[in-house]
Amino acid sequence: MFKLKFKEKVLILGATIAVLAVTCALGILFSAASVQRREASTPVFPQLNKAQIGLIELSDKTGRVKLKKEGAGWSVQIGDLFLPASGSRVDGLLAQLASLKRSRIVTNNPEKWKDFQVSEDTAKRVKLADAAGKAAADLLVGKESLSGRENYLRLQGANEVLQSDRSLGTYLNLESKFWSQLKPFPSDLNSQDLNRISLKGRLKLKEETRELNYTLALGGQKEKNAWKLEGDPGAELANDKVDGLASSLVLFEGSEYAVGVKEEAAGLSPAQAEVFFSTVKDKSFRLLVGAALPGGEQYYVKLEGAPFIYLASEWRVKQVLPALAELKAKKEAAKSPQGTKSP
């Protein structure tokens, strides 16, 4: 009988163990569960190039919104027009999609699509294309998970229902005003640069009418941070309140575009009231305020020289067109010394 030496037995046993170990490792590596875990952690759109996207369409059974890249910026379709869109919001949507990952595969059964609201008649659809119209992505977004932090997804043409690693809810808004660029002033405008603010006109509000005819200017070299009332330099102004007015002007924003409304119909020719301001960088702007919509909740507004008319909430209009009395310093009533009575 052939006998193996001890050393040979050890080598054979070692080789057998090694083969079994490799077989076990390969079995684990290529098991259905392992493959699914690896697939689940991959990006939903591994080849998405944000810079090449030129068209975005969001839709569901209630409506749709279309965004188009024009030059360095974006525009949103409102009726037959394409008007400036919020670049930051479009960039946010594209960044979300580019980094979106699948956290797990939920099902491969098309009969379960409606349970997760990823069928075409229940989902919100996100379609991306390049500037020439070539499709780059087509995603059906279903309901949120129980935690509210993820969505169920399905790629158009695929059976798999995926669970995302985050919610897309913020960027699934189908209202054109959500995507509109509604700030009339440049984004780099700083309230600290304003050195003169002039208001004039007669602003009719729901509860009052404001007569506006005053100009505020920063003081001379010794008082460069102090606001003065032109024509009455002795008037005591509350510096923080005028600074607040300057901030409100710079941050002013409409609520939506007023499409198809002429200046005359909007009460902007002539305007009901206006605010003019200039900066230390020799820039100046004039915001025109026109008529109010029935109910007085919104007003037509327009930046002089710009082609767009906006609707703006009454509270925003009141912020940038305050009555002069609101900007004056409040004088404290004189207090009698303790223990004595005023005559």
Token duo for residue 311: 């609707």
Q: Are residues 132 and 209 in the same domain?
A: no
Q: Are residues 156 and 269 in the same domain?
A: no
Q: pLDDT tens-digit profile of 256-279? A: 999 999 999 999 999 999 999 999
Among the ranges given (24-28, 163-167, 222-226), the one the predictor scored with the smallest mean pLDDT: 24-28
Q: Are residues 126 and 217 in the same domain?
A: no
Backbone angles phi, psi at 89, to 5 degrees: -75, -40
Q: pLDDT tens-digit profile of 196-238? A: 999 999 999 988 999 999 999 997 555 567 999 999 988 999 9
pLDDT of residue 28: 46
Instruction: Give exposure, 28-38, as e/b (b: 16+ Cβ within 10 Å).
Output: eeeeeeeeeee
| Residue 123 near residue 141, CB atoms below 8 Å | yes
Q: Say if 339 falls within a structural domain.
A: no
Q: Are residues 195 and 321 in the same domain?
A: yes
Q: Say if 27 falls within a structural domain.
A: no
Q: pLDDT tens-digit profile of 74-83? A: 999 999 999 9
Question: In whole angstroms, what is the distance from residue 290 CA to residue 324 CA?
Answer: 20
Q: Which helix (H) or strand (E) holds 177?
A: helix 176-179
Q: Are residues 199 and 298 in the same domain?
A: yes
| Residue 66 near residue 57, CB atoms below 8 Å | yes
Q: Report the share of the chain in percent with pLDDT over 70.
A: 83
Q: Using omega within 30 degrees of 0 as the cis cutoff, is the peptide bond preceding 307 cis? A: no
Q: pLDDT tens-digit profile of 53-67? A: 999 999 999 999 999
Range of the domain at 54: 50-179
Region for residue 288 given its phi and psi (left: phi exceeds 0; alpha: psi -120 to 50; beta: otherwise): beta
| Mean pLDDT, residues 29-33 taken together | 46
Kindly give the pairing relationship between strand 209-218 and strand 73-78.
unpaired
CATH number for the domain that contains residue 197: 2.60.40
Strand partners, 101: 43
Domain end residue (candidates: 136, 156, 179): 179
Q: Are residues 197 and 165 in the same domain?
A: no
pLDDT of residue 34: 45
Supply the DSSP string of 212-274, one letter for each residue.
EEEEEEE--GGGTT-EEETT-TTS-B-HHHHHHHHHHHHT---SEE-TT--TTTTTBTTBSEE
Cα dist from 258 to 81, 88, 119, whole Å: 12, 22, 35
> How many other CB atoms sit within 10 Å of the CB of residue 196?
16
Q: Are residues 237 and 304 in the same domain?
A: yes
pLDDT of residue 278: 97
Question: In whole angstroms, what is the distance from residue 292 CA to residue 207 CA?
Answer: 13
Mean of the per-residue pLDDT values of the chain: 88
Q: Are residues 151 and 216 in the same domain?
A: no
- Statement: residue 146 has pLDDT above 80: yes
Q: Are residues 169 and 93 in the same domain?
A: yes
